[in-house]
Structure 1
Amino acid sequence: MSKDKKNNNKKPFKEFKFKFNFYWVYGILFALIIGYQFFNSSELATSKLTENEFNEILKENDVEKVVIVNNDVAQVFIKAEALQKEKYKDKTKSPFYNAKDPLYVFDFGDLQNFEKDLSTNKAEYKLDFDTNNTTETSVWDGIFMWLPFIFIIAIWIFIMRRMSGSGGGGGPGGQIFNIGKSKAKLFDQDQKVQTSFKDVAGLEGAKEEVQEIVDFLKNPDKYTKLGGKIPKGALLVGPPGTGKTLLAKAVAGEAKVPFFSLSGSDFVEMFVGVGASRVRDLFKQAAQKSPSIIFIDEIDAIGRARGKNNFSGGNDERENTLNQLLTEMDGFGTDVNVIVLAATNRADVLDKALMRAGRFDRQIYVDLPDMNERKEIFEVHIRPLKMSKDVDIEFLAKQTPGFSGADIANVCNEAALVAARQDKKAVHHQDFLDAVDRIVGGLEKKNKIMTQKEKKTIAFHEAGHATVSWTLEHAAPLVKVTIVPRGQSLGAAWYLPEERMIVQTEQMLDEMCATLGGRAAEKLIFGKISTGALSDLEKITKQARAMITVYGLSEKIGNITYYDSSGQSDYNFSKPYSEETAVLIDQEISHLIETQYKRAIQILTEHKEELTTLAELLLEKEVIFGDDLVKILGERPFAKEPLAVSKAKKDLQKKEAKKAVEEVKDEKDVNNEGEISTELA
């Protein structure tokens, strides 16, 4: 290889760029002051004397003067002519020597005895030295004296930097004046967002809504020539993890306009008025870069309804920030093309003035994905994974009802970790199922110590759930039952609930009965009940209360609901019903639960043999599936047609219909050809 090629392969040397920081000036000044004090000190050039050495120098009349410092130490100054002596030359050659400084120091001890000895020696040997008393402080005394002030200043600088963020101020104290500046992160042509609508799986309705906003920013004339106005804002509402922030990133990537992104908590600060100042600065920057988009994530941090918190003071900083936001979104002079996108999962607590048309013109509900949308989300998140051919995405989508987009992303990542833990070269279908179990039920605890009696109780408990749910029409079909402890639970049953838009009374009652099947099995087999049904009881109690007080499904209470969708009931200290009604509600809840409990016992009594067989199989295998229930209980009488079979039938019907149309078309073509041939003849 030639030298030129070798040189071309070398990585170019990155030039070091010097960045000036004004705080270096403080450090240099502090170092100079300390250095001056240190090197200007007379202690560096002096030597200590013993009592004999001091008396010898004193008797030779080499001492010019003795300065007593702080009544403790004597500084000895030597005469100029005496410094020419050989014993003093080594001291005078020192780089720290100064003619004005003492050459020796002598620690004399008691001051009165020392002064008396000096007077005696001076009279006896006719000496001509002077004596003087003074008070001095050392370098270290000075440092320790200034240390508290230095510490306070350092803390003050640190606090100012923390409050003003990481941005520079352009001069001394500049960051203090930046405390009212917006903390929004700007994405523009220099820093583009790569996310697009193609990266957002599902959410078709929400994508159509925000795509119109993007289209307006790209082609405003298409709408304004018809008299339309740009929408002021759009509020993304939905449960956590459904993709609200991801949708906003996709808007930033598609719109190709400046995009300001920040969180609602970024407006909150310890100083009064800072939040409102940051709102003003944010909209000022956005107006300068118009057309632009502002995205405020978790807007409920500043957008909560005013006046709800009666314990706060009259000058509430959060309310001041909200008032400024309301003014900026729909006040005087807001004729610039600035659109505000916001996201929250607590729309019920937002202020009504913020929610009205003219500020947030449209509310886009980002719901949990249905089965088809979950399939699309799975396909997005499995792209970076090394997949095995046995993975059934459609089955996984069906197996994960109620999962959000974030949950599905977590399932895919957990499946890859499970496969890696077992040293596999690809992620298999079972790894995904194990990942779902891990996320829903918790970590499997194989080493948890249980007695045989406890294990038998858990087995009959879970078998009770499985048996009752298998025999009820509206209960969810069972997928798997296990008595292996996971997380907080000692056993679990996995179901495949049907995705319904509305739920009827019979469906809710069947679900309650299946949930009580565990406790009913314990009572039937052992004649005793245990604390293992805590989570079951909590679930059905909430469900029964909702049926009566929210959905109005009780005949005695009537078609009344005490649910408040505005969220105002959270701040009331009184119930919206009388004490007599409260007693009636409690009686109805108890009656509803006990009725379903007796129903569960009756079902299990009829299928006691199958219940025992199922529990024994569970004790033997620890994990059983739906196929095992078919062998013991027979085919489920209310089982719906499997999804794969239904899809195959629909495809077959389509093919047969298409074939019939083609046959009719062929017959027409044959008849037409016969007519043409007759005419020619």
Structure 2
Amino acid sequence: MENNRMNPNKPKDNKQKMFRFNFYWMYGIILLLLAALYMTNDSAGTKEIGWTEFQKLAKENVFDKMVVYNKKNVVEATVKSDKIGVIFPGEKMSDSLSPKVYIKIPSADKFSDFYDNAVSENKIDTQVSFEEGDDTMWSFLISFGPIILFVLVWIFLMRRMSGGAGGGPGGVFSVGKAKAQLFDKDNNPKVTFKDVAGLAGAKQEVEEIVSFLKNPSKYTELGGKIPKGALLVGPPGTGKTLLAKAVAGEANVPFFSLSGSDFVEMFVGVGASRVRDLFRQAKEKAPCIVFIDEIDAVGRARGKNANMNSNDERENTLNQLLTEMDGFGSNSGVIILAATNRADILDKALLRAGRFDRQIHVELPDLNERKEIFGVHLRPIKIDDSVDAELLARQTPGFSGADIANVCNEAALIAARNNKKFVQKEDFMNAVDRIVGGLEKRTTVMTETERKRIAIHEAGHATISWKLEHANPLVKVTIVPRGKALGAAWYLPEERPITTREEMLDEMCSTLGGRAAEELYSGQISNGASNDLERVTKQAYAMVVYYGMSDKLPNINYYDSSGQEWGFTKPYSESTARIIDEEVQKIISEQYERAKKILAENTEGHNQLANVLLEREVIYREDVEHIFGKRPWASRSEEILEKENKDDKNDKNNPKEQTPAPETGEEAPKTEDDKS
């Protein structure tokens, strides 16, 4: 009695386990029903008779044909249609049923003797055939094989629909289960903020989430509520997913990870069912973090889908997600993190306060952050003293964290390909060139005239960039084809938070230097400047339409940052469009004439650069400085370059650290491609 009082639910639990439904029972029941139907199908048209009665009926010529099975000593006799009433008196049967009788005979020899006498004395016309008899297993397979095959195929299809290895409770209904991958704190490698370099602002935002998961009472005692969700927004490869894993690792809580496309299915209602199941699992594991990557797959703004069906599965999934995010309690310990690079197309209801309260912008890393990222990815790589993380960071502007990881991996592969024991600075420079410009194509066949035209073009870029104050510092110029370009110029750009009109014009003038040099020194222009013209046109259009830097349309911006206001219509009239075209043409023409003027004033230096390029195919910053003299506008990037050049000259005196030929030396990522 005492045990029953202390544990009153124990008998109830045993009873539940005893009668717990198993879906495999359905398979057995169906198989038995099919077997029963098969066994009872012909019972109304068959009968077993004795040997004596058979002899009497056979002499009366009742049977149409008989089959003798020698091994079984059994005769199967088919009754004539007009004699059915003799054997089955009072039973109504169809003529097409062909009733049969079975007789156990003494032996096949005695049956032969009886049949011969019956034919000679009673003149019967029954046809007789002899067979050895069917094998029992073979008969079973013929009878039940199709049924068994049907059941097995059906079980296979149901298991595939359930998405799991076993049926178990739920069976086919597990198609609505969430496909989230659980990273548990006990059996998965932990990622912390130490593994996330840079992203200082984003980490500061999510540290509060970590603090709440570790010590929620600190906030709840004062009446505060932790944000229910945080949306990580940024370009691809900036570390949004890695940052979410670091939050889970720092908080030491379960981490559910899945993609937005995991909710989308062709079956109606499956997406909403998976959303419900995901939040049910999350509440059971609370406190925990649910991370939905690429949430724009289900979070796209409603009403803008091209699907004309009245019942859109994606919108139903989004509606269920909105309900679940606004349904669980504020202090339940379940926090939703999501990542996307298309925040402009998300539904406004998803971004309102109470769902995704915060938008954390994860932008491309700046100079210092790139230096930290290089420090993380250089840890497992064997490098020597020539590798400088700051120089690598300066030579990779606009690179994301994923790009930097690719640079480090490519450098290690290049060093291994050259049988080196350490990865050196030149390997990283070659890796940057390989990623930005493509693979060198020294086998490309070019005539001497084409090489000279390319040298004139590239020397034009180098000359004007050296003579303009706000142009990016030159690092290297080459006429060796690389990727889709027949030649390229590498620069080390300054990262400016604000760019002035004069700086933009200097960059445009430098970009147009190649086309201006072709016209000025060869008397003809070619299609080699197509990439230059594309970049200049886009920059001039941005100055007029976005930045308000034109004389006729000052202080006007026609750009919609939200992407939802103007749609496919232009926010200006046809007359304004004509003015925009005129202003863009004016800016480009002015800078083109300016480039030709600068080249005309430095014809001798330009020709020397072109000749050196033809001779060596690659020239560096010190070669340009030797011809034109030192630049009066020294920037921080140029100081770094000068320091590196001095170190390289000192290293040349040390045979242990001597670098290869110049064409595999330093390069920088920003290029002036000549032909796309």
TM-score scaled by length of structure 1: 0.74
Distance 1:510 1:151, change over 3 A: farther
Out of 578, 599, 604, the position equivalent to 2:573 is 578
**Where do residues 92-103 of structure 1 align in structure 2 (5 Å cutoff)?**
none
Show the counterpart of 2:112: none
Are positions 1:590 and 2:588 aligned together?
Answer: no
Out of 313, 318, 325, the position equivalent to 1:322 is 318
Q: Is the 8 A contact 2:391 2:640 kept in 1?
A: no
Question: Cα offset for 1:292?
Answer: 1.4
Show the counterpart of 1:563: 559
Out of 616, 619, 623, the position equivalent to 2:614 is 619
**Where do residues 318-357 of structure 1 align in structure 2 (5 Å cutoff)?**
318-331=314-327, 333=329, 335-357=331-353
Q: Is the 8 A contact 1:68 1:133 kept in 2?
A: no
Show the counterpart of 2:383: 387
Q: Is the 8 A contact 1:192 1:253 kept in 2?
A: no
CA RMSD of aligned residues (A): 4.0
The one of the two structures with greater contact order (alpha-carbon pairs below 8 A, sep at least 6) is 2
Show the counterpart of 1:63: none
Distance 1:598 1:162, change over 3 A: farther
CA distance in 1, matches of 2:641, 2:404: 26
CA distance in 2, matches of 1:224, 1:335: 8
State the identity %: 64
Out of 585, 604, 607, the position equivalent to 1:609 is 604
CA distance in 1, matches of 2:147, 2:578: 67
Question: Cα offset for 1:164?
Answer: 3.8
Question: Cα offset for 1:313?
Answer: 2.3
CA distance in 2, matches of 1:248, 1:326: 21
Are positions 1:412 and 2:408 aligned together?
Answer: yes
Residues 300-332 of structure 1: per-residue CA shift (max 9 Å, x gap): 111111112254322221111111111111237
Q: Is the 8 A contact 1:328 1:334 kept in 2?
A: no
**Where do residues 66-85 of structure 1 align in structure 2 (5 Å cutoff)?**
none
Q: Is the 8 A contact 2:67 2:129 kept in 1?
A: no
Question: Cα offset for 1:458?
Answer: 1.3
SS at match of 1:509: helix
Give the aligned residue type for 2:584: I
CA distance in 1, matches of 2:274, 2:468: 59
Question: Cα offset for 1:250?
Answer: 0.6
Give the aligned residue type for 2:346: L
Residues 585-625 of structure 1: per-residue CA shift (max 9 Å, x gap): 11211221122111111111111211111111111111111
CA distance in 1, matches of 2:641, 2:440: 34
CA distance in 2, matches of 1:298, 1:259: 16
Give the aligned residue type for 2:418: Q
Show the counterpart of 1:169: 167
Are positions 1:267 and 2:263 aligned together?
Answer: yes
Distance 1:322 1:639, change over 3 A: same
Question: Cα offset for 1:207?
Answer: 1.0
Distance 1:627 1:645, change over 3 A: closer
Out of 345, 351, 366, the position equivalent to 1:370 is 366
Distance 1:450 1:159, change over 3 A: farther
> Higher mean Cα deviation, 311-320 or 373-382?
311-320
Distance 1:79 1:421, change over 3 A: closer
CA distance in 1, matches of 2:583, 2:151: 66
CA distance in 1, matches of 2:548, 2:281: 51
Q: Is the 8 A contact 2:228 2:330 kept in 1?
A: no
Out of 395, 401, 405, the position equivalent to 1:399 is 395
Q: Is the 8 A contact 2:232 2:360 kept in 1?
A: yes
Q: Is the 8 A contact 1:167 1:175 kept in 2?
A: no
Residues 20-59 of structure 1: per-residue CA shift (max 9 Å, x gap): x999x999x99xx9xxx9xxxxxxxxxxxxxxxxxxxxxx
Question: Cα offset for 1:78?
Answer: 6.3
Residues 126-161 of structure 1: per-residue CA shift (max 9 Å, x gap): 999951599x99989x9899889968984x766655
Distance 1:646 1:468, change over 3 A: closer
Distance 1:480 1:126, change over 3 A: farther
Are positions 1:224 and 2:234 aligned together?
Answer: no
SS at match of 1:537: helix
Out of 429, 432, 441, the position equivalent to 1:445 is 441
Give the aligned residue type for 1:382: L
Are positions 1:243 and 2:239 aligned together?
Answer: yes
Distance 1:645 1:441, change over 3 A: closer
Show the counterpart of 1:210: 206
CA distance in 2, matches of 1:127, 1:336: 97
> Higher mean Cα deviation, 125-134 or 174-183?
125-134
Residues 504-538 of structure 1: per-residue CA shift (max 9 Å, x gap): 11111111111111111111111111111111111
Question: Cα offset for 1:165?
Answer: 2.8
Are positions 1:423 and 2:390 aligned together?
Answer: no
Question: Cα offset for 1:77?
Answer: 6.1
SS at match of 2:446: coil
Residues 418-458 of structure 1: per-residue CA shift (max 9 Å, x gap): 00111111101100000000000011112122222222111
Q: Is the 8 A contact 2:68 2:129 kept in 1?
A: no
SS at match of 2:558: coil
SS at match of 1:261: strand
Give the aligned residue type for 1:257: V
CA distance in 1, matches of 2:314, 2:461: 50
Distance 1:76 1:187, change over 3 A: same
SS at match of 1:170: coil
Are positions 1:631 and 2:613 aligned together?
Answer: no
Q: Is the 8 A contact 1:230 1:337 kept in 2?
A: no
Q: Is the 8 A contact 1:482 1:492 kept in 2?
A: yes
Distance 1:364 1:146, change over 3 A: same
Distance 1:151 1:481, change over 3 A: farther
Question: Cα offset for 1:416?
Answer: 0.3
Q: Is the 8 A contact 2:225 2:331 kept in 1?
A: no
CA distance in 1, matches of 2:271, 2:575: 48
Are positions 1:458 and 2:445 aligned together?
Answer: no
CA distance in 2, matches of 1:409, 1:79: 79
Are positions 1:195 and 2:191 aligned together?
Answer: yes
Q: Is the 8 A contact 1:261 1:294 kept in 2?
A: yes
> Higher mean Cα deviation, 498-507 or 451-460?
451-460
SS at match of 1:227: coil
CA distance in 1, matches of 2:359, 2:571: 29
Are positions 1:481 and 2:477 aligned together?
Answer: yes
SS at match of 2:536: helix
Count of residue correspondences? 557
Distance 1:539 1:26, change over 3 A: farther
CA distance in 2, matches of 1:170, 1:555: 74
Give the aligned residue type for 1:284: R
Q: Is the 8 A contact 1:239 1:368 kept in 2?
A: yes
CA distance in 2, matches of 1:151, 1:407: 53
CA distance in 2, matches of 1:557, 1:152: 76
Q: Gaps (5+ residues) in structure 1? A: 1-20, 38-66, 82-98, 104-121, 649-681
SS at match of 1:359: coil
Distance 1:77 1:184, change over 3 A: closer
**Where do residues 537-556 of structure 1 align in structure 2 (5 Å cutoff)?**
537-556=533-552
CA distance in 1, matches of 2:156, 2:520: 69
Q: Gaps (5+ residues) in structure 2? A: 1-21, 39-62, 74-103, 109-117, 645-676
Question: Cα offset for 1:497?
Answer: 0.7
Give the aligned residue type for 2:579: L
CA distance in 1, matches of 2:342, 2:381: 34
CA distance in 1, matches of 2:150, 2:421: 58
Are positions 1:286 and 2:282 aligned together?
Answer: yes
Question: Cα offset for 1:410?
Answer: 0.3
**Where do residues 148-163 of structure 1 align in structure 2 (5 Å cutoff)?**
154=153, 161-163=159-161
